[in-house]
Structure 1
Amino acid sequence: MMNMTKYRKDFIDYILFNYEFDDRVAVWILNFIKSHPTVSRNVVFRDEGTVDRKLRISDSGSASPTLLFEKGNTVTVDGEVIFHELNMNQEHTLFLHFNLSRHDARYQKMKSLETDMDSTLEQMGQEAVIRQIDEALDAKDHKRFIRLTEYLNQIK
C-alpha cells in the first residue's frame, strides 16, 4: 500500500506550486500542514459527510474567502486562529477542501483515492467482524455471536 502521508504532502506541494492565493497565510498554513508529521498524517482530502473540523482554502480565482475554517458551530477566516487550532489539535482529523477556480483532475483523483481507501478499510473491518462471528458460531459462544451480529448490523 502506498504511503498516504507522503502522497498527501506531495499533493500539497502540487497545490502550492500550481495555484496562487490572495492571503499568504494560506501558503503558510499549507506549508505547516505538510511539514508537521502529526498534522499531515491526520489530514484527508474529502468533503462529503459530517465532519468535525474542515478547512477550506480557495485560490485567487475563486469567489470564496481564501481561508475558511469550520469546527462544530464555529466558523473563522482568521489565519492566526486557524493556525492555533491546527497546532493545538494535531491528533484530530482535518478535512481539507480546496475551492479551485479551474477543474483539477489531480485534486479529483486525490479525493477519489481518499474515498476509495475509506471504503476499503470499512470493508476490511466488516470482514474481520464476520470472521469473528464465524468463530463464535464454531465455539458455540451465543453471547459473543449476538454481540458481534448486532455490531455488524450497526456498522453496515
Structure 2
Amino acid sequence: MIDVAEKREFLVWLINNVSFQRREVIWILNYLINHEAILRNVHIVEGALNTKRGIVFRDITQREDPMVLTVEGQQFTNSDQIFHEIRLHWQQPLYLECVFPNSWQNAQYLSVLEDNPENSWNDTVSEEIVLEVENYLKHQEKEAQADLLKKQIDLALEDGDKESFLILSDELNRLKLTLHE
C-alpha cells in the first residue's frame, strides 16, 4: 500500500509539472491533496476506466477528454458531477490514472503506481516477453556466478591453493560454456 504522503507529493508534482486542458483537473487534484481521508482511498493505476470507480486525467497533449470518471460502467466528463461523486463517496476506492508524456520515465509516478485489480499488468504481458525476461535473469545469474568464481580463483592464487584453483577454474570454464548457449 502506498503512503498518503507519497501520493500527495506525486499529485503536487503533477500539478506543478503537467499542463491540463481544463483548470477543473487542478481543482480536483487539489481537493484530493487536501483531504487525507479521501487520498487514503485513492489508488494510482493504469486502466482506471476498467475499474468500478475510476478517473482519468489527461494532459494537453492528449486528444481524448481531459477528465473522465467512470462509475459502474457509466462515464462522466462534467467536472461538477465528478467532484460531487468524489466528495459524496469518499469512503470508496477511487482508481486514478494520469496520462502524460514519458510517465514511465518518471520516478515519482512509478513510485506511487499500483497494480490495477481489474486490469492487472501481468495479464497483458505476452508469454514471449515473460520468456525473454526469464532468460535475461538466468543469464544475469550466471554472470554473477562467474564473477564470484573469478574472485574465488584470485583468492586461491593469492593463497597458493593449487587444488582450489583447479577446481574453481574447471567450474568457471563449464559455466562459460553455458553462458554462450
Pairwise TM-score range, normalised by the shorter structure: 0.5 to 0.7
Q: Which runs of 5+ in 1 are unaligned?
A: 116-156
Q: Which amino acid aligns with 2:4?
A: T
Deviation of 1:48 after TM superposition, in Å, equals 5.1
Identify the residue that residue 30 of structure 2 maps to in structure 1: 31
Identify the residue that residue 105 of structure 1 maps to in structure 2: 106
| CA-to-aligned-CA distance 1:114-151 (integer Å, 9 cap, x gap) | 34xxxxxxxxxxxxxxxxxxxxxxxxxxxxxxxxxxxx
Deviation of 1:3 after TM superposition, in Å, equals 6.9
- For residues 72 and 59 of structure 2, the distance between their equivalents in structure 1, rounded to whole angstroms, comes to 24
- 2:62 matched to 1:62? yes
For the residue of structure 2 that corresponds to 1:95, the secondary structure is strand
Distance 1:58-1:48 versus aligned 2 partners, 3 A rule: closer
For the residue of structure 2 that corresponds to 1:61, the secondary structure is coil
Q: Which amino acid aligns with 2:37?
A: T
Confirm or deny: 8 A CA contact 2:52 2:73 kept in the other structure. no
The aligned length equals 112
Q: Which amino acid aligns with 1:80?
A: D
Identify the residue that residue 91 of structure 2 maps to in structure 1: 91
For the residue of structure 1 that corresponds to 2:32, the secondary structure is helix
Task: Give % identity.
Answer: 21
Which is greater in Rg? 2
Deviation of 1:110 after TM superposition, in Å, equals 2.2
- For residues 47 and 25 of structure 2, the distance between their equivalents in structure 1, rounded to whole angstroms, comes to 22
- For residues 39 and 110 of structure 2, the distance between their equivalents in structure 1, rounded to whole angstroms, comes to 19
| CA-to-aligned-CA distance 1:59-103 (integer Å, 9 cap, x gap) | 111122110000112101111000000000010000000111333
Deviation of 1:108 after TM superposition, in Å, equals 2.8
- For residues 25 and 91 of structure 1, the distance between their equivalents in structure 2, rounded to whole angstroms, comes to 22
Identify the residue that residue 163 of structure 2 maps to in structure 1: none
Distance 1:108-1:74 versus aligned 2 partners, 3 A rule: same
Q: Which runs of 5+ in 2 are unaligned?
A: 116-181
Identify the residue that residue 21 of structure 1 maps to in structure 2: 20
Identify the residue that residue 169 of structure 2 maps to in structure 1: none
| CA-to-aligned-CA distance 1:10-44 (integer Å, 9 cap, x gap) | 01001001101110000000000111121111101
For the residue of structure 2 that corresponds to 1:101, the secondary structure is coil
Confirm or deny: 8 A CA contact 2:59 2:100 kept in the other structure. yes
Confirm or deny: 8 A CA contact 1:42 1:93 kept in the other structure. yes
Confirm or deny: 8 A CA contact 1:64 1:99 kept in the other structure. no
Identify the residue that residue 5 of structure 1 maps to in structure 2: 4
Distance 1:69-1:93 versus aligned 2 partners, 3 A rule: same
Confirm or deny: 8 A CA contact 1:56 1:67 kept in the other structure. yes
